[in-house]
Amino acid sequence: MTLKGGLGPSLLPESLRDQNETVLARIIRDGVLGTPMPPWAFEISEPEALWLVRNLKDGLDDQ
């Protein structure tokens, strides 16, 4: 809820700034094997994952 991480890494704009959006979208859809990050491809399409990444990189309005 704070995007600051805990079990997973921080998803705040400064943490994602230098990361490639295609790679981040792939992480969301495929998950990261051997970590708690689950794959979301069963319900998040590639355009939706890219939308999520771009919004996370831009930051949310209330932050």
User: What residue ranges bind ligand HEM (CB under 6 A)?
Assistant: 7-9, 11, 15, 19, 24, 27-28, 32, 35-38, 40, 52
Q: How far is the CB of 58 from ligand HEM (least distance, A)?
A: 14
- Beta carbons of 57 and 13 less than 8 angstroms apart: yes
- Selection from 54, 44, 46 nearest residue 16 by Cα: 54
DSSP 8: S
**In angstroms, how far is CA 10 from the centroid of its own chain?**
9
- Quick one: 50 or 52, whose CB is closer to ligand HEM? 52
Q: Which amino acid is at 57?
A: K
Q: How far is the CB of 28 from ligand HEM (least distance, A)?
A: 5
Q: How far is the CB of 43 from ligand HEM (least distance, A)?
A: 9
